A = this chain, B = another copy of it.
Amino acid sequence: MNKKFRLFIYVFLLILISPLFANAGVEGSLVEKMTDLVFQIGVILFAAKLGGFLMKKMDMPSVLGELMMGILIGPYLLGGLPFFGFHNGLFPLVNPEFPVTPELYAFSTVASIILLFHSGLETDLSMFLRFSAKGAIIGIGGVFVSFVSGAWAGSLITGLPIISPVNLFLGVISTATSVGITARILSEQRKMDSPEGVTVLAAAVIDDVLGIIILAIVLGIVSVMTGHGGAVKWSAIGYIALKAIGVWLGFTVLGLFFARKIGNSLKIFNSETSISVMSLGLALILSGIFEKAGLAMIIGAYVMGLSLSRTDLSFVIQEKIHPIQEFFVPIFFCVMGMLVNVNEVLKPDVLIAGVFFSLVGILSKVVGCGIPSLFLNFNLLGAARVGVGMVPRGEVALIMAGIGISAGILSPGQFGVAVLMTLVTTLIPPPVLTILLRKEKRGTRTEMKGSTTVVNVFDFPSYELMTLALTKVIQALKEEGFYLHDMELDHHLYQIRKDDVFLTIHEHADHFEVVSDPEDVFYIKTVVYESLLEVNNTIENLKTMAKPEELKKELSADDNTRVQNSFFKDIHENCIIMNLKGNNKNSILYEMVDLMDNAGKLVDYEECLQAVLDREASMSTGMQNGIAIPHGKTDGVRELVVAIGLKKEGIDFSSLDGQPSKVFIMTLSPKKNTGPHIQFLSSISAILNKPHFIDDLLACPNAASVKELLIREAKEKG
């Protein structure tokens, strides 16, 4: 049994036994509603994670797993099965018209707002406005073709005219490319900086913005049409489309204009977390206003994100709302799955419609983005790569479908068709794109900058250090005016751009890689170099200001210091040496580590020795009155190991008072679970503090009497 899934089995068992505790509650009461909701959210979080895990195992995007798990545990499948204690199942079909409770749907609604707020925050508007005309043309092509063909496919399926609420909605659902999946594949194949990669990522930004505008217009048109009994009144449609664009444009312009002011106002909250939560509050309010204005909530959320994306808070907010996102977003995908009426979708006509709609969805992006690519210096291979890369639909398509079903515009069957399209368009491109990218041929007609890239690897001894350095590097790049796009929060993949400089940073366990054009290598190295120097200076400052030297001088324990006498009982007599042979610092250290090793206390001799030497190199452990306390943290020991060595003549140990050191207490502790090793050090220092005690110790005839003397003294002071 895979160890990884043990927790899921525990949780599953817990859910299975939970009805045993069921007391009779008041059916349908508020308390019961809340209990069910809380239980459901807990179950959803685990089901979504499990689905995500399983999908990742198959190298598929985890959101698909969350969506499918939602279908599985939803009211139409497992969730609807009666289960003692839950009379109508864990996720009962409360209302045949809308299968989930309003309370649960509320969480999914907030999730969709968070998703689009985040998407707005990530949007690189300056790039949208001035960079990559190529990306813009291809993005517009894709959106236009997929919208029209989506609505056309809808009209074939529904039998209604293209200009009808359902079909317009199916058109909108077809437009939104989700570039995360493509970005991951590009990155795995080291093709993110290729002309195809850059173009897809640029086109996706246009796609996002255009999708939002089209949604705004369609919602306007739909509201007019439902107001006129479905009749097409072109004048009214024109007016409402203008109004929708007007509201959208008005708030976007206002938002961008006041972005810095809003950002500065948010800074009155004294913590980054508060700033981020309150910015989410702004997004919620604007979402409400947009919905009231006949647009959709998510448009408001996107506009607020877009505005703040221009401020220096953008990155902070993205980071701090991440836990909130991790809580809400799985609920969103699962609830979308739950809305899928399986009985409906499995009907042959719906299934056929779904497959047809999916095919149209794939072809429309391949054609809509591929054909313009052919005119923009891409050859057939390059155009295919770009086209396939733009196929995946994702969260935005689902959100739009969710809006459609909750507003009653889409029937359950039509909603199912839309979800099926999202699934298919997300499942098909990854393998196809991988094959297309594997061909070594270039995808452009003429040799282009970016066709060759260089990978620079920066190695670090630990994750902690890598993070520290990378943080500084990213900060430096941002200060240089670069725009940072965090492609996938979990995959630690950054896309960094400014004008025509285009970098990708991959974060790994103990190194990071920077992929770039050959001509930017020098620049990258300079940035990393200066950042490392800055880290170094920071620490030099720290050392000066915190004055460890002075602190060390103060480390002459006074009489009142607390002593933990229990420590001394455990000292092994074989680890006490009465006459150290060595005459210098290093030989004494070697000798005492040997002593520990001979007593069988060490797991890895070399590591232990190194730890002690390293510690000594950073600052001598020679204290006052002839005492030295060499020590180190190392995985070469399993528990705290102590050795005591005496050297009557004393040696120079660079001690605090310049006097020769005569008594050496060496301690080694494991890196993790160090235990109270500093408490031990301070206890030792405390009892060794009186000068006469050193003489007593040196006068001891053997190891047993040394130990006895230490225990006695510790008891007196303890």
Contacts and interface: CB of A to CB of B under 8 A. Distances in A.
Given A34-B406, A480-B674, A481-B675, A292 B323 contact: no
Contacts of A291: 25, 31, 34-35, 38
17 contacts: A23-B292, A31-B403, A38-B284, A38-B291, A42-B284, A42-B286, A102-B103, A274-B326, A321-B323, A465-B542, A476-B678, A523-B682, A526-B678, A526-B681, A532-B551, A536-B618, A537-B615
A469 B546 contact: yes
A110 to B, nearest CB: 7
A322 B273 contact: yes
Interface in A556-612: 557-558, 560-562
Interface in A508-537: 517-523, 525-530, 532-533, 535-537
Given A326-B277, A327-B277, A523 B555 contact: no
A560 B518 contact: yes
B523 A678 contact: yes
Contacts of A45: 277-278, 280-281, 284
Contacts of A324: 323-324, 327
B105 A545 contact: no
A130 interface: no
A266 to B, nearest CB: 7
Contacts of A541: 461, 465
Nearest to A465: B542
Contact of A552 (B49, B461, B529): B529
Interface stretch (A3-11, A149-157, A697-705): A3-11
Contacts of A551: 525, 528-529, 532
B38 A110 contact: yes
Contact of A109 (B38, B282, B481, B679): B38
Contact of A526 (B22, B39, B555): B555
A30 interface: yes
A533 B525 CA distance: 29
A529 B557 contact: no
Contact of A106 (B106, B290, B294, B481): B106
Interface in A99-126: 102-103, 105-107, 109-110, 113
Interface stretch (A13-21, A167-175, A426-434): A13-21
A424 to B, nearest CB: 28
List the 4 closest A-B pairs by CB distance, nearest first.
A39-B288, A42-B284, A45-B281, A21-B293
A564 B137 CA distance: 27
A235 interface: no
Contacts of A269: 49
Contact of A271 (B34, B461, B490): B490
A85 B294 CA distance: 13
Interface of A: 3-4, 6-7, 10-11, 14-15, 18-19, 21-23, 25, 29-31, 33-39, 41-43, 45-46, 49, 85, 98, 102-103, 105-107, 109-110, 113, 223, 247, 262, 265-266, 268-271, 273-274, 276-278, 280-294, 297, 320-324, 326-327, 403, 406-408, 458-461, 464-465, 468-469, 476, 479-481, 490, 498, 501, 517-523, 525-530, 532-533, 535-543, 545-546, 548, 551-552, 554-555, 557-558, 560-562, 614-615, 618-619, 672-679, 681-682, 685-686
Contacts of A107: 106
Contact of A523 (B39, B536, B561, B672): B561
A282 B675 contact: no
B30 A406 contact: yes
B480 A15 contact: no
A545 B288 contact: no
A65 to B, nearest CB: 14
B542 A265 contact: no
Contacts of A289: 14, 18, 21, 39
Contact of A4 (B106, B268, B618): B268
Contacts of A223: 23
A529 B545 contact: no
A324 B326 CA distance: 10
Given A41-B110, A42-B286, A461-B542, 4 more contacts: A21-B293, A45-B277, A45-B278, A468-B542
A4 B4 CA distance: 50
A480 B670 CA distance: 11
Contacts of A109: 34, 37-38
